[in-house]
Each structure stands twice: as C-alpha cells, then as structure tokens.
C-alpha cells in the first residue's frame, strides 16, 4: 500500500496486493514536509542512549545481586520483585518526573524506565550460573570486583546482553505512553507519536496533499518507516538472541 500510485488506486477501485507500478511519493512527502525526520532523530537518540543506560544499570544491579554473600540481598530482591506486582501509579510518577525537571526533555523518555525488573532478574539468573571457580581464581590473581565484571563477566555474557539489549531497544524505539504523559513540545515527539498522528488525521491529510498521494498510502508508508529499523537490526543478532533466550529459559 505504501508504494501504490494514486492513479492505480483509482483505476482498480482500491489497493492491489502487488502494485503494477511503484511510487515513492509517500516517502518523499514524509521526509520533506512532515515532522517525521525530527521525530526519528528523537527515537534514535532514545533507542541508542536509552539502551546503553538500560544495559549499564541492569548489569550493575544484577551482578552484585547474583553474589550470594551480599548483605541484605534477600530484602533488596523482595523490593525489586515487589515493583512487578505494584507500581507507584501514573500520577505519582508524573509528579516525580516533574519535580526532577524532566518534563519536555528526552530524558523523560529514558529515565523513568531505565531498568526493567524482568530483565534485571534474567541477568541476575544468568550471572548466578557462571562458575564460581572463575571468580575465585581471578581474585587469587589480584582482580577486584570491577575487573572481574568488566574483563570476565561481561565477555561471557554477550548472548544475554544482546538479548536484553534487543528487548530494551525495541521498547525504547516503540516508546509511546511516556511521550503522551511527559512531552508537550512537538519538537520532542518521538516517532510513534507522529505515526499515530498520521494514522488519525486522514481528513486533514487529504486536504493538505491535494492530488498526489492517497491517505492510506501515506499512512502505510509511516508504518513501514517505524517498523523497518527493527526489522533491519534483528537478523544481525538473531543467533545471539536465540541463544540468549534459551540460556535465560534454562537457567530460570
């Protein structure tokens, strides 16, 4: 639908499964006269920087919790699991974000969801499965906890890190609800907000665009633009993703 010319739609009384001719006019409109390019930059920033922060905090939380000698470990785990059952609510969360001065900033799309409890527990379970003898031999050689984490644990955890990273990246890329709550500046709208706006404003689009592109063609082009990055990235980490999921399932 995103590639079907307007003349072919009229000629055939609707869209064909496989268009006989192809046009990129819908994509030209999206990238030249809409707010889509700016929103893609916002989503790209939240997906890259946000995922890096997600992974950093998840690893820094999961590694100490995987050590059975950590004092207060049981209480901390209980408090973490408790957040999976009960949340603070939308209004208190909004007031907290507002008090931190993050309204109408990209950080409002990253910080409130910086750590996912489920992903933290998966990483903790994976770290617990690593042989304790590796840590003991590293300590005998004089390695500290930071050295063990950076030079031993993280290289051994690449499949799980890629899996958790994909979960975080997709969640950040598809972030919609946080933008609805915390963003009122149109210049900071992420991609999903703009795509939703395009899908809901069919009548106004028809008035603006005059002849050129049928509204469903433009809408489907926006959906393709929003979906394509994830579809492109996934095949490159599919092997690690499958391995990481299996490891998490077995260890869990």
214 belongs to a structural domain: yes
* CA 51, 161, 117, 192 torsion-angle sign: positive
pLDDT of residue 210: 45
pLDDT score, position 209: 47
Distances (CA, A) of 197 to 5, 50, 84, 205: 22, 24, 31, 10
Give domain status of residue 68, yes or no. yes
Residues of the chain by 3-state class (helix, strand, coil), percent to 5: 75, 0, 25
For the chain, what is the domain count? 1
| 1 in a structural domain | no
Cβ atoms within 10 Å of 47's Cβ, excluding its own: 25
The pTM of this model reads 0.81
Q: Looking at the domain assignment, is residue 156 inside a domain?
A: yes
Residues 6+ apart with CB under 8 A from 170: 230
User: Domain limits at 93?
Assistant: 6-251
Each of the 252 residues of the chain gets a pLDDT tens digit; together they read: 788 777 777 777 766 777 777 888 888 888 886 688 889 899 999 999 999 999 999 999 999 998 888 888 889 999 999 988 888 888 999 999 999 999 999 999 999 989 999 899 989 988 888 888 888 888 888 888 888 888 888 988 888 888 888 889 989 998 899 999 999 988 899 988 888 887 776 555 554 444 456 777 788 888 888 888 888 877 777 666 655 555 544 444
- 148: Cα separation from own chain's centroid: 29
Distance, in Å, from the CA atom of 232 to the CA atom of 108, rounded to the nearest integer, reads 27
The CATH number of the domain holding residue 48 is 1.10.3720.10
């Amino acid at each position: 639908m995103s590639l079907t010319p307007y003349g072919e739609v009229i000629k055939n009384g609707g869209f064909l499964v496989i268009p006989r001719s192809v046009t990129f006019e819908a994509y030209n409109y999206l990238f030249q006269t809409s707010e889509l390019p700016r929103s893609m930059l916002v989503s790209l920033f939240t997906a890259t920087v946000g995922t890096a922060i997600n992974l950093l905090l998840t690893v820094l939380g999961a590694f100490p919790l995987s050590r059975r000698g950590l004092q207060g470990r049981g209480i901390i785990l209980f408090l973490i699991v408790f957040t999976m059952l009960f949340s603070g609510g939308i209004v208190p969360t909004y007031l907290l974000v507002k008090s931190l001065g993050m309204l109408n900033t990209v950080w409002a799309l990253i910080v409130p969801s910086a750590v996912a409890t489920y992903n933290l527990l998966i990483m903790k379970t994976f770290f617990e499965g690593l042989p304790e003898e590796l840590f003991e031999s590293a300590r005998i050689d004089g390695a500290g906890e930071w050295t063990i984490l950076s030079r031993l644990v993280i290289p051994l955890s690449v499949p799980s890190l890629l899996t958790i990273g994909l979960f975080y990246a997709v969640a950040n890329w598809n972030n919609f609800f946080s933008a609805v709550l915390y963003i009122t500046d149109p210049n900071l709208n992420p991609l999903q907000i703009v795509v939703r706006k395009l899908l809901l404003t069919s009548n106004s689009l028809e008035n603006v665009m005059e002849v050129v592109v049928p509204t469903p063609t433009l809408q489907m082009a926006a959906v393709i633009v929003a979906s394509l990055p994830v579809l492109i990235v996934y095949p490159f980490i599919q092997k690690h993703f499958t391995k990481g999921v299996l490891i998490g399932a077995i260890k869990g």
